Amino acid sequence: MSGDKTGISRSDVDLGPCAPTKSRVRDRIFETACELFYRHGIHGVGVDEIAAEAGSNKMSFYRSFASKDALVTEYLREQEREYWAWWDEAVARHPGDPRRQVEALFEAQFEIALTNSCRGCALGNAAAEISDDEDELSTLVRAYKEKVRRRLHGMASAMGARDPERLGDALMLLLDGGYFTRLVFPLGSGPISAALPAVRALIDAHLPPRRSADALPDAAQTVAAGK
């Protein structure tokens, strides 16, 4: 629904490389909306407040967005886009080393959690406040979470874990636990500092003993056998 097919006439062809003055108002409003949604929740911010905070007004808002729902959808998409950019950037620091990649991910999460503007995971928080009938949004959030899970599975698999799905799931629990607790605990006081050591311990427990055949039976039985 992101189709912004408004008047793509010759005007943007004329202006060439420079962005066709797309609409600075729209961007300002959208940025403001993202901040407010993240800080106060989607249901806690009205379009009037958004427009006013952006130095504009409601009418200009509705010239750029079809409805508040459309804005919310775009907000979630943008949050996901930024999230993957953040993710890819952390992972790209250790190409070919999935274990270090996972560690870098949690390091980066910890760094962000030390920001006072951090209020956990935007998509996850949205899931907590959208009701079941808001189908489009919950579908979007679910797809996002499933993608997180698949990526963690993939990294666990790439590092040669005995049970990559189980390890990936455990990593996801730690990740989301960090986001969730960050919502409540002020700045550096939460339990999120325990995430990285736990990640390392879990990976160790799932990796076969170094440079040796995995014939050693008992090493990860507690985790591999499960319940």
Partner DNA sequence: CTGGTACGTTACCGACCGGTAACATCGTTG
Partner DNA sequence: CAACGATGTTACCGGTCGGTAACGTACCAG
Q: How far apart are the first and last CA of the chain?
A: 44
Minimum distance of a second copy from residue 13's CB (angstroms): 43
Shortest approach of DNA to residue 117 CB, angstroms? 22
Closer residue to DNA (CB): 25 or 108: 25
Among 187, 184, 155, which Cα is nearest to 169's? Answer: 155
Q: Which is nearer to DNA, 23 or 181 (CB)?
A: 23
Q: Which of 23, 57, 138, 157 binds a second copy (CB under 8 A)?
A: 138
- Nearer residue to a second copy within complex by CB, 64 or 170: 170
Q: Which of 35, 41, 53, 68 binds DNA (CB under 7 A)?
A: 68
Q: Which is nearer to a second copy, 64 or 123 (CB)?
A: 123
Taking CB under 7 A as the criterion, the residue among 35, 41, 53, 57 binding DNA is 57
Q: How many residues lie near DNA (CB under 7 A)?
A: 24
Residues 190-219: x where in contact with a second copy by CB under 8 A, - otherwise, as a string: -xxxxxxxx-xxx-xxx--x-------xxx
Tokens 């799905």 belong to residue: 165
- Shorter beta-carbon distance to DNA: residue 35 or 176: 35
Residue 23 interacting partner from a second copy, DNA, none (CB closer than 5 to 8 Å by kind): DNA
7 belongs to the binding site for DNA (CB under 7 A): yes
Helix axis angle, 98-113 relative to 68-91, nearest 10°?
Answer: 130
What residue ranges bind a second copy (CB under 8 A)?
A: 39-41, 43-44, 107, 120, 124-125, 127-132, 138, 141-142, 145-146, 149, 165-170, 172-181, 183-185, 191-198, 200-202, 204-206, 209, 217-224, 226-227
